[in-house]
A and B are shown apart, each in its own frame.
Chain A
Amino acid sequence: MTAITATPRPVPAWSRYFLDRSEIVGPLFIAPAILYVVLLVGLPFLLALYYSVSAYTIFNPSLAFVGLKNFRDIVASEIFRRTLINTLVFTISAQIIGLLLGKIGAMLLMQEFHGRGIARALVVLPWAVPVSLATVAWLWMFDSLYSVINWTLIALGLVDAANRPQWLGQEDLAMIAVVVVHAWRLFPFGVVIFLAGFTSVPKDVLDAATIDGAGFWRRNYQIILPIIAPIVLIALIFGTVFTFTDLSVVYLLTKGGPINSTQVLGTYAFQVGILSGDVAHGAAICLFLFPFLLIAVILLLRSLRRREI
């Protein structure tokens, strides 16, 4: 420390020279990143906006302007309304289960015990492993005949072997299945975020509160939660965005079926825009994600800004 404070202040002459140079070098250094983002995120987004008001399909790439017709078509469709409701149900339930399990997991893993390192590594697995590969494992566990889940339920006498649940083939069960798999994927993220939050709570604050007579719940909700709130908010925003825009889990497990009972915005847009080649309607469906994403971005911005100040 003393060495640094002892360093003489730089002479103004070269400092101006340095600033002059970095004014050129600075923008030059950041230009490729901005260019990349503008060309391959910004422009495609504008393209999506235009597709959504055009008659563009892969069979008829005419780009004729049709106004809001695509949006009217979509909102009028029964499947889309179902898709929208499904997306909300899927997001909210997976998010609640994920956060709840995340908090419980973090409270458990915060304690000192033998094998804590291994337990943490195992708990993080669902989130660490590539989503498509993890989902394929669940596909096998939900198999119509050889499902290990069903085997266990039958062995426990909870369900009848002749009447075994078809996890991915029945409308209500399919929704439960995709929610469970997504919550399973998400909760380790909650665990690590909550863990990071808990360790940031100063111990003396907690000790003082305990001495003053604050019990478990009071410490939890009036001291810890307010302190970790900004971190939890960020986890919530990322988690919700990942769930709301998910395509992989649902696509691999059910492809939106049976009879669109698990169709979410992502899979529906994929089905219409890629599989059926109707790019215009597909783009319009995707844009229903946008207002929601905008809210997420604003929330995130506010929480980041607040921290800077």
Chain B
Amino acid sequence: MLRLAKKLGGEGAFYAAVITLVVFAAFPFYWMLITTFKADGDLYDLKSIPYWFNSAPTLEHIKYLFTDTLFVQWLMNSALVGLCVVAITLIVALPAGYSLARMPGRSAETLGIGIFLTYLVPPTLLFLPLSRVVTLLGLQDSLWSLIVIYPTFTIPFCTWLLMGFFKSVPREIEEAAIVDGCTVMGAFVKTVLPLSVPAILTVVIFAFTLTMQEFVYALTFISSSEDKPVTLGVATDLIRGDIFYWGELMGAALIASVPVAIAYNLFLDRFISGITGGAVK
């Protein structure tokens, strides 16, 4: 009897700990969700319990967001930047990763680690000189500044990921293609790339989510409202002094977060094995 109670107590404590952790992690998102659909009178009311609706839920905030703000424009800006950055990343990182995986000797190792280390160089160290570079190139206040600069952090990481993947592709496959008369380039395109679809997909997702996460460069380079990506526009342009826009703000944050969160969760394991250098099998 005592043992059963102890076991139940232990189980209860375990679930209590799990629930506490989940609530700590996820409460802000629940709060976003409920704020989005609360009527203003309900939001700015100190008396009633705020965790649930005290008056009927409303779509007012969402409607306002889509019709009276630049939210849709920002979403499209982010999508455009994301697509271009993904394309540049693939064009540069695919051959680089392959080359590093097949290069003989220790120099490839050194070069690979060297490229990976640039991922550690933070935007905070580079945003000042890069803002001058962007001005010199005439790209200030334009989405092109982000399209040019974002690959500086997607390329190192994706090259590293792809290098790890290409190492696991047996050399014999390309060698066979070369024996059959392919050039090195042809063998890469015709035999290695088709085998790499899962890795390429991972790179696409990661390059895209990394650009969606970025804030510092966007904040530094872009000041006109209609050119902002969604992460910047929501955080800087929807907050207007004393006027309460929390419903719209939370709705915008929620809508922009959901796709990134889903993508991240699906590819989390690959990201981790990338960052730990494939140490974890």
B93 near A: Cβ within 8 Å? Answer: yes
A66-74, A217-225, A297-305 - the one binding chain B:
A297-305
Interface size class of B (residues with CB under 8 A): 35 or more
CA distance A237 to B122 in the complex (A): 13
Give the segment of A20-28, A78-86, A168-176, A203-211 that binds chain B: A20-28
Nearest CB in chain B: distance from A309 CB, A: 11
Chain B residue contacts of A59, Cβ below 8 A: none
Q: Are A131 and B121 in contact (CB under 8 A)?
A: no
Query: Which residues from chain A contact B155 at a C-beta distance below 8 Å?
Result: 33, 36-37
Which of A32, A146, A196, A305 is close to B43, meaning CB atoms less than 8 Å apart?
A146
Tell whether, in the assembled complex, residue B250 and residue A137 are in contact, meaning their CB atoms are under 8 Å apart: yes
Minimal beta-carbon separation of A243 from chain B (angstroms): 10
A231 touches which of B133, B179, B280 (Cβ 8 Å): B280
Which residues of A have CB within 8 Å of B256? 130, 133
A216 interface residue per 8 A CB criterion: no
CB pair A307 B219 closer than 8 Å: no
Q: A123-B22, A286-B124, A289-B124 are in contact. Are A36 and B183 (CB under 8 A)?
A: no
Contact residues in B for A101 (Cβ distance below 8 Å): 21, 24
The answer to whether A134 and B21 touch across the interface, beta carbons within 8 angstroms, is: no
* Interface residue from A37, A138, A139, A286 paired with B115 (Cβ < 8 Å): A37
Complex Cα spacing A43 to B133, Å: 10
Complex Cα gap A121–B234 (Å) = 24
Interface SS majority for chain B = helix
B77 at the binding interface (Cβ < 8 Å) = no
* Set A18, A129, A148, A234: member contacting B261, Cβ < 8 A: A129
Total residue contacts A-B, CB cutoff 8 A: 281
Per-residue CB contact flags for chain B residues 92-122 toward chain A (1 = under 8 Å, else 0) read 1101101110110000010101010110111
* Complex: A289 Cα to B124 Cα, angstroms: 9
Chain A interface helix/strand/loop/mixed = helix
Total A residues in contact with B, Cβ cutoff 8 Å: 105
- Set of chain A residues within 8 Å of B184, measured between Cβ atoms: 18, 21-22, 25
Interchain nearest-CB distance for A301 vs B (Å): 7
Cα A19 to Cα B156 with chains together (Å): 26
Answer yes or no: B53 CB below 8 A from chain A CBs. Answer: no
Residues 1-51 of A at the B interface (beta carbon under 8 Å): 4, 7, 10, 14, 18, 21-22, 25-30, 32-34, 36-37, 40-41, 43-45, 47-48, 51
Binding site for A on B (CB under 8 A): 14-15, 17-18, 21-22, 24-26, 28-29, 31-32, 35, 43-44, 46, 49-51, 91-93, 95-96, 98-100, 102-103, 109, 111, 113, 115, 117-118, 120-133, 148-149, 151-152, 155-156, 159, 170, 172, 175, 178-179, 183-185, 209, 212-213, 215-216, 219-220, 231-232, 234-235, 239, 246, 249-250, 252-253, 256-257, 260-261, 264-265, 268, 272-273, 275-277, 279-281
A: residues with CB less than 8 A from B are 4, 7, 10, 14, 18, 21-22, 25-30, 32-34, 36-37, 40-41, 43-45, 47-48, 51, 101, 104-105, 108-109, 111, 113, 119, 121-141, 143, 145-146, 148, 151, 155, 184, 187-188, 192-193, 196-197, 199-200, 230-231, 234, 237-238, 241-242, 245-248, 251-252, 265-266, 269-270, 273-274, 279, 282-283, 286-287, 289-290, 293, 296-297, 300-301, 304-305, 307-308
Residue pairs across A and B with Cβ atoms less than 8 A apart, 10 shown, are: A25-B184, A34-B115, A36-B92, A48-B128, A104-B21, A123-B25, A127-B264, A131-B213, A137-B32, A140-B31
